[in-house]
Amino acid sequence: MQRTYRPAHTSALLRGLFVLLISGALPAFLAGQEEAVIVYLVRHSERAEDGTNDPPISSEGQERSELVAALLQDAGVTHIHTTDFKRTRATGAPTAAMTGLGMQLYDPRDLTGFADELRSMPGRHLVLGHSNTTPQLVEALGGDPGTPIQEMEYDRFYIVTLTDAGASTVLLRFGSPYER
């Protein structure tokens, strides 16, 4: 039986390691390349069901969205990409406010084209998507998406590092854990 240890609070050491991972310094160093394209991919935060096809995020979702911003505060994010839904835009809003960046819309129906665009755009990108599009985009970038995201699973944080040698993927968990 595999056990997962999740401390209630992240220690300074773990936070430092996380900063190294999300900043791209460690993956780029390991790949032997000075500047890699780093793509952070997160599914939108918990939604508040309102009976529409475009619900906002819940109070739990707002907390998770603020955690995304806190995790990325030292990552040097240069671009924020979101689908045109309330829940993805609201998930990215704290990071946009923190960085002063605008959110650029992308079409989730053309993930291959969007992956090509990301590969050609230097920098560090936060991409906000959905349970079905986030793993598909990881795969379109050449990364490993792992298993499908479950309906109530909101704690995945992908880091895809794109170098001349290819793509590498780190999958982290953050915030309140998804209970399987």
pLDDT of residue 110 exceeding 80: yes
Residue-wise pLDDT tens digits, 127-167: 999 999 999 999 999 999 999 999 999 999 999 999 999 99
Residue-wise pLDDT tens digits, 9-38: 444 434 444 554 555 545 544 545 558 999
Query: Is residue 101 helix, strand or coil?
Result: coil
Residue 78 lies in a domain: yes
Residue 11 lies in a domain: no
pLDDT of residue 2 exceeding 90: no
Q: Give which of 75, 71, 101, 76 is closest to 89, Cα–Cα.
A: 101
Average pLDDT of the segment spanning 50-56: 95
Residue 8 lies in a domain: no
Higher pLDDT, 64 or 22: 64
Residue 7 lies in a domain: no
Higher pLDDT, 50 or 27: 50
Q: Which CA distances in Å does 102 have to 19, 57, 78, 116, 132?
A: 22, 19, 10, 21, 24
Q: Give which of 42, 57, 69, 58 is closest to 155, Cα–Cα.
A: 42
Q: 71 is in which domain, residue-wise?
A: 34-173
- Number of domains present in the structure of the chain: 1
Residue 54 lies in a domain: yes
Please state the separation of Cα 47 from the chain's center in Å: 17
Average pLDDT of the segment spanning 40-57: 96
Residue 2 lies in a domain: no
Q: Which CA distances in Å does 166 have to 63, 77, 120, 142?
A: 34, 21, 13, 7
Please report, for the domain that includes residue 61, its CATH number.
3.40.50.1240
Q: Would you state the pLDDT for residue 3?
A: 36
Residue 119 lies in a domain: yes
Average pLDDT of the segment spanning 99-104: 98
What DSSP string describes 10-70?
A: --HHHHHHHHHHHHTHHHHHHHT-S--EEEEEEEPPPB---SSSS--B-HHHHHHHHHHHH
Residue 16 lies in a domain: no
Query: Is residue 137 helix, strand or coil?
Result: helix
Query: Is residue 113 helix, strand or coil?
Result: helix
Where does residue 175 fall: left (phi above 0), alpha (psi -120 to 50 degrees), or beta otherwise?
left
Both tokens of residue 174?
Answer: 């953050």
Q: How many CB atoms lie within 10 A of CB 131?
A: 16
